[in-house]
Amino acid sequence: MSPARRATRRCWRRSRRACCELEAIAAGDAHIDRPVIALAVTVGGHREASTWLVLYRVVGGVVAPAFAGVVEERVGDQRRIGEVTLLPGALLYRAPSGTQRLWVYSAERQRYVELALVVPPDA
């Protein structure tokens, strides 16, 4: 059995309500002209779970978080889905609640920074 599988089984045994699972991994530049690693990770358990999209930037051999947001929430049989749209130098994040926010990549901070623009779900 692989080390990753053993770790997942240990996590599951410790708490039948909470665990985490790597759903997907990808690499690219995310329109910011720097290497980016994207992970989709689901955390939670049988009744409740959330899937997060996490973007990491790679600068000078260092991996650091650049953005994280929930893209799916599940409670029982109910699912709410959000999305992340990558734009040149920015991203548009729609939370599972429907609220949209614009994030701009700050080269100075080397991560995405949320702007004040907030679009409510009913707009």
- As a whole number of angstroms, the distance between CA 23 and CA 53 comes to 10
Average pLDDT over every residue of 30-39: 90
In the sheet that 83-87 helps form, which strands lie side by side, from edge to edge? 83-87, 90-94, 100-106, 111-119
Residue 62: the pLDDT is 87
Residue 120: the pLDDT is 67
Residue 56: the pLDDT is 95
This prediction's pTM: 0.77
Q: Is pLDDT above 70 for 13? A: no
**Residue among 62, 52, 66, 65 at smallest CA distance from 24:** 52
Domain enclosing residue 18, as ranges: 3-119
Domain count of the chain? 1
Residue 27: the pLDDT is 94
Residue 119: the pLDDT is 65
Q: Is pLDDT above 90 for 32? A: no
Residue 58: the pLDDT is 87
Percent of the chain with pLDDT over 90: 59
